[in-house]
Amino acid sequence: MRKGLLLLALLTAGLVLVACGDEPPPTQIYIVVSPTPQESETAPATPASPTPATPSPVPSATAAPSATPAPAQPTPTPQPVGFPTNTVAEVQIAEQVFEHGRMFWIRHTRQIWVMVNVPPDNANGGDWFCYNDTFQEGEPEIDEKLVPPEGTYQPRRGFGKLWRNRSELKEALGWAITPEFELTSTYTYIAGGYMQGGQYVPAPGEHRLTTLYNETISFYEQDVRGDCLGGTWRKAPAP
Q: Summarize the confidence of residues 20-44 as an average pLDDT.
A: 43
pLDDT higher than threshold 90 for residue 175: yes
Q: Measure the CA angle with vertex 82, ends 88 and 107; round to 5°.
A: 25
Q: Summarize the confidence of residues 56-79 as an average pLDDT.
A: 45
Domain presence at residue 66: no
pLDDT higher than threshold 50 for residue 184: yes
What domain range is 210 assigned to?
A: 87-236
Residue bearing the bigger pLDDT, 71 or 91: 91
Q: Measure the CA angle with vertex 58, ends 57 and 62; round to 5°.
A: 125
Q: Mark whether 173 and 99 lie in a shared domain.
A: yes
* 3-class SS of residue 13: helix
What distance in Å separates the CA atoms of residue 111 and residue 92, rounded to the nearest whole number?
12
Q: Mark whether 92 and 33 lie in a shared domain.
A: no
Q: Mark whether 17 and 132 lie in a shared domain.
A: no
Confidence of residue 207 (pLDDT cuts 50, 70, 90): very high
pLDDT recorded at residue 79: 73
What distance in Å separates the CA atoms of residue 191 and residue 170, rounded to the nearest whole number?
32
What distance in Å separates the CA atoms of residue 164 and residue 134, rounded to the nearest whole number?
13
Domain presence at residue 58: no
Domain presence at residue 8: yes
Residue bearing the bigger pLDDT, 57 or 160: 160
Q: Summarize the confidence of residues 188-204 as an average pLDDT.
A: 93
Average per-residue pLDDT for the chain: 78
* Pairing of β 125-132 and β 181-190: unpaired
Q: Mark whether 129 and 201 lie in a shared domain.
A: yes
pLDDT recorded at residue 4: 45
Q: Please tell me the total count of domains within the chain.
A: 2
Q: Mark whether 218 and 124 lie in a shared domain.
A: yes
Q: Quote the strand ranges of the chain, DSSP E.
A: 87-98, 101-106, 111-117, 125-132, 181-190, 194-196, 199-201, 206-210, 216-224, 229-236
What distance in Å separates the CA atoms of residue 30 and residue 19, rounded to the nearest whole number?
15
pLDDT recorded at residue 16: 39
Domain presence at residue 73: no
Domain presence at residue 49: no
Q: Mark whether 17 and 114 lie in a shared domain.
A: no
Confidence of residue 77 (pLDDT cuts 50, 70, 90): low
First to last CA, the chain: 100
Domain presence at residue 44: no
Q: Mark whether 104 and 219 lie in a shared domain.
A: yes
Contacts of residues 99-107 at CB distance under 8 Å and 24 or more positions apart, as own/partner, are 99/152, 99/173, 99/174, 99/175, 99/176, 99/177, 100/172, 100/173, 100/174, 101/126, 101/172, 101/173, 101/174, 103/155, 103/159, 103/162, 103/163, 103/173, 104/209, 105/133, 105/158, 105/159
pLDDT recorded at residue 238: 62
Domain presence at residue 78: no
> Residue 172: in which H helix or E strand, if any?
helix 167-173
pLDDT higher than threshold 90 for residue 216: yes
Q: Mark whether 231 and 114 lie in a shared domain.
A: yes
CA nearest neighbour of 183 among 109, 102, 97, 94: 94
Domain presence at residue 28: yes
Q: Mark whether 28 and 104 lie in a shared domain.
A: no
